[in-house]
Chain A
Amino acid sequence: MKGWLLALCLMALPVQGEEIVSGVSQSGVSITTNFDGASILVYGAALRDAPAPAWPLMEVIITVEGPSTPLMIRKKDHVAGIWLNRGSVKITSAPSFYAVASTKAVADILLPAEDAKYHITIPQTIDTAAAPSAEQTPYIEALQRIRQASGSFVLAPDSVLLLRQALFRTDIILPANLVEGPYKVRIFLTRGGEVTDMQESQIDVQKAGVERTLYRLAMEQPLIYGMLSLLMAIVAGWGAQELFKRLRI
């Protein structure tokens, strides 16, 4: 009886006895005129009621996810000597930015079933209406390839620093071509591939200053914005004409 209870406690321990306490270096990112990307620090610790079990080791996965939008992926084909867009696949939603940082390669520290449940790896965040067919797979792979090349999808295994199985930290680089909106930060603790705790917080990315004024005007008062654009062009063109006349060059 006693042995059985102890076994139960040991099994339950990792799931209930480990809790994330974490912080993010900033709660918001302002996109100003000279915005050239940002680096955010995600840090934290695992709080425990009892000493950590020796095995399996605790691992950490941290994800940052930007606002999702529907996408169209098109493929060019050689038709009559030129390259035309032929095939296309519609993606119901995919994040505009997604970073996965972890202590080890995600495949080694996360079971596929847990991935499917929490949508942690990049393919899990790309939402197609139905399960992708064999024909659609290359399109989805291309999306990942293109976004990884542009820095919008980031895979960073071994980038989370874990100290004494308790303290962890990582830096996530946000690229310059950011989309406005709430960015979701998730921290997962795993043991033996299973998620033992998860915590979610949010970073608000917003345009600020002139960027914000211009953007809102363009979206909310497009006619006034268009007139202003024209006025600016006319004044600049006419002004230069007058200026050069005065200078008599």
Chain B
Amino acid sequence: MQLYLPIAEVSVNAFVLLGLGGVIGFLSGMFGVGGGFLITPLLMMIGVPPGVAVATGANQVVASSISGALAQFKRRAVDLPMGAVLTGGGLVGSTIGGYVFDLMSRLGQTDVFVQLSYVLFLGLIGGMMLVESINSLRRTGKARVKRSHVHSWVHRMPFKMKFRASGLYISVIPPLLVGAAVGFLSAIMGVGGGFVMVPAMIYILGMPTKVVVGTSLFQITFVTGYTTLVHAVTHHTVDMMLALLLIIGGVIGAQIGARVGVRLKAEQLRILLSLLVLAVAVKIGFDLLLTPAELYSVTRVAS
């Protein structure tokens, strides 16, 4: 069944969109990532203009992450104060990222800039996660003394705050910076930023794994909601018809994903997520390196 999208101004198959939403929702519920890093490139692949793909992807991530966040909230796996601090930083970072994105589109380098960011960040994060989780899988079974948290530079900064659910008493500056960095990436890459947020929470902030997924979904919901509004108002690129189909598939997928995720071990989840992230990085990296079939590209400019 073909469906004409009013804002994207292209006709696409409705079932392809439902399926796409479902798969991404499933991953989102299972890993606690919004899935934006998959949805934006996939939408572009099926012919949706990049601007619409980024904005509508953000809208879809709101639905799948709020669904996941609620599921985690019921399980008391959300650190609300931490989520609020991260969101505060995220809104600032997202606004700055928006300016950088506009600058890049004026220079005509949006696609390469976006692709390079994808390869760099997805490759780095995916690689780190893979190595770490393989190491921790190897360590299981061997007796080892686990420290509750590592004392590092994070703990020597001022403006300390108690994050009860995470069992942390740390300065608000690192979470603010992490939030801002993720918000920045979300605006330039059209993603929620869960794939950066989750490892940053574990490795930089030292949060326990049980609250990481819920808190990251909480922050993603707010930052992508903000991104959706900004895109709708400034670029008119949110396609509600496209979003609706992705969301219907997505929310159902997210519920199933959350239930499957509970049955898997944290290390297994992390290995799967890191492989997925690396696969996307490699695919986009190849697109940058291989000679494109068509060297020229046409873009409509505002008169």
Contact = CB atoms under 8 A, between A and B. Distances in A.
B294 A146 contact: yes
A218 to B, nearest CB: 5
B62 interface: yes
Contact of A234 (B63, B289, B290, B300): B63
The 9 closest A-B pairs by CB, nearest first: A226-B232, A176-B11, A142-B296, A240-B251, A237-B66, A233-B63, A237-B67, A233-B62, A35-B4
Contact of B233 (A223, A236, A241): A223
User: Binding site of B, secondary structure by majority: helix, strand, loop or mixed?
Assistant: helix
A47 interface: no
A241 B70 contact: yes
Nearest to B248: A236
A229 to B, nearest CB: 5
Nearest to A218: B236
Contact of B298 (A138, A146, A219, A222): A146
Contacts of B298: 71-73, 142-143, 146-147
26 contacts: A33-B241, A36-B11, A69-B300, A72-B299, A74-B299, A75-B296, A142-B296, A211-B4, A212-B6, A215-B6, A215-B7, A225-B238, A226-B231, A226-B232, A229-B240, A229-B243, A233-B247, A236-B67, A237-B64, A237-B251, A238-B67, A238-B70, A240-B251, A240-B254, A241-B255, A249-B259
The bracket for how many chain A residues form the interface is: 35 or more
Nearest to A31: B4
Nearest to B9: A177
A67 B303 CA distance: 12
A210 interface: yes
B303 A229 contact: no
Given A85-B297, A230-B229, A34 B3 contact: yes
Nearest to B69: A237
A72 B248 CA distance: 36
Interface of A: 31-37, 69-78, 81-85, 88, 90, 138-139, 142-143, 145-147, 176-179, 207, 210-212, 214-215, 218-219, 222-223, 225-230, 232-234, 236-241, 244, 249
Contact of A139 (B62, B231, B294, B296): B296
Interface stretch (B81-89, B105-113, B134-142, B172-180): B105-113
The bracket for how many chain B residues form the interface is: 35 or more
Max chain B Cβ within 10 angstroms of own Cβ: one of A142, A212, A222: A222
Nearest to B5: A211
A234 B299 CA distance: 33
B143 interface: no
B67 A34 contact: no
Contacts of A207: 6
A228 B228 CA distance: 11
Contact of B301 (A72, A77, A83, A222): A72
